[in-house]
Amino acid sequence: MSGPADFSAADGGTLRFTGDLSLSRLGTLPDRLNAFDGTATVLDLSGVGRFDTVGAWVVHRFAAKSGAEIRGLDADKRHLLDQVEQADQPVAMRPEHVNPLTRVLGEVGQAVATAFHTLHGLLGFLGATTLAFLNVARHPSRFRFNAVVHRFEVVGVSALGIIGLMSFLIGMVIAQQGAVQLRQFGAEVFTINLVGRLTLREMGVLMTAIMVAGRSGSAFAAQLGTMKLTEEIDAMRTIGVSPMEALVVPRVLAAVLLMPLLGFYSSMIALIGGALLSWATLEIPPITFIQRIREVVPITDLYVGLIKAPVFGAIIAIAGCFQGLQVESDAEQVGSRTTAAVVQAIFLVIVLDAFFAVFFTWLGWN
């Protein structure tokens, strides 16, 4: 067994190395080599015992620094030293200076590519969800009634309080701000028109969708993400249970069926809030408010809200489930995917609401 790594100077600029050039036996050899101020033209390693990657790297760096020739290695040690020499390449620790415009364009391009990739994934997941619904329709015994009812409670019943409070306050805000502006023209009575049409056609369903996305869409993503992380979904596939049918279909169905009810409930509560504020500040009695609503708000405004609601519900549930099933490696992804689910759902809801506005205007429902 060789001793600790060491070296000694000989005639003619030769340094003879002895001992084990290994990590455990190097000791202070690297520091002594760095401090060596003599001339070295040949590094004789014929007396070296063990020779590992760290020892090869130390010898290589000293030889490169001093310009010395390495001798005395057998075939295996020479091969190891050659591999270390090839791997010892300079690496830029910091990127070279990049034009700010190029960097911004690169980030924009990456964001666009990510957006299209996510959109492609969402469309594919929408197709998979549709197929799961068709499979359940063909085989009614696979329909999980209890799971759907439980999602009804989570998505709908438990959300009535927060949605009602939000809608009531929004109705009051719309009435108050509308009255302040219309008072300048002596047209306070048209505050009823503003509250009625805005809440039934747009704000009731839109704000409900945003609330459901933040409340239920995030819950869907977190639940499925945790199940994916703990391999429960893989276990379901192993025993022959389709995760799409068992987990995604009940959530999507609950969101689609309950969004119209929640949207209508939100609109009614907003109207109550607007009516109370009109009564308190404009001295418009509730009975007059109701009569005016019946006169100025067409029934098509209610139809518009009820048509948009199930589409919004489907988008929210699909975005939440899609992001939850994308979780792969660690718990951090559960949080990031949950955030992505809420952001995507709200973004898609607003985009679709804009398309619906143009579409219904084209139909003459305005």
CA–CA dist 206, 203 (Å, integer): 5
pLDDT of residue 96: 59
> In which band, very low, low, confident or very high, does the pLDDT at 164 lie, cut at 50, 70 and 90?
very high
- In three-state form (DSSP H/G/I as H, E/B as E, the rest C), the secondary structure along 244-306 is HHHHHHHHHHHHHHHHHHHHHHHHHHHHHHHHHHHHHHCCCCHHHHHHHHHHHCCHHHHHHHH
CA–CA dist 19, 4 (Å, integer): 5
Answer whether 299's CB lies under 8 Å from 237's CB. no
CA–CA dist 114, 301 (Å, integer): 37
Nearest to 129 by CA among 308, 258, 261, 255: 255
- What is the C-alpha R_g of the chain? 36
- pLDDT over threshold 70, residue 129: yes
- How much of the chain exceeds pLDDT 90, in percent? 39
- pLDDT over threshold 70, residue 63: yes
> In which band, very low, low, confident or very high, does the pLDDT at 241 lie, cut at 50, 70 and 90?
confident
Domain residue extents for the chain: 6-87, 116-363
CA–CA dist 181, 146 (Å, integer): 50
CA–CA dist 111, 238 (Å, integer): 36
3-class SS at 45? strand
Tell me 21's DSSP state.
Answer: E
Nearest to 40 by CA among 5, 22, 16: 16
User: How confident is the model over 290-347, as pLDDT tens digits?
Assistant: 999 988 888 888 899 899 999 999 999 999 999 999 988 778 889 899 999 999 999 9
Task: Give the mean pLDDT of 199-219.
Answer: 91
Q: What does CATH list as the number for 6-87?
A: 3.30.750
A 10 A CB-CB count for 296 gives 15
Strand order in the sheet with 14-21: 6-10, 14-21, 42-51, 69-71
Task: Give the mean pLDDT of 234-251.
Answer: 90
Task: Give the mean pLDDT of 263-283.
Answer: 92
Buried b / exposed e over 62-81, threshold 16 CB at 10 Å, is: bbeebebebeebeeebeebb
- Give the tokens for residue 77: 């040690």
Q: List the single range of 44-48, 314-318, 354-358 with lowest mean pLDDT.
A: 44-48
- Give the tokens for residue 206: 């839109």
> In which band, very low, low, confident or very high, does the pLDDT at 94 lie, cut at 50, 70 and 90?
low
- pLDDT over threshold 80, residue 2: no
Q: List the single range of 45-54, 245-254, 286-295 with lowest mean pLDDT.
A: 45-54
What are the start-end ranges of the H helices in 88-231?
100-138, 145-155, 160-182, 191-198, 204-212, 218-229
195 to each of 297, 352, 362, how far by Cα in Å?
A: 10, 22, 23
The more confident residue out of 198 and 35 is 198
- pLDDT over threshold 80, residue 190: yes
- pLDDT over threshold 80, residue 13: no
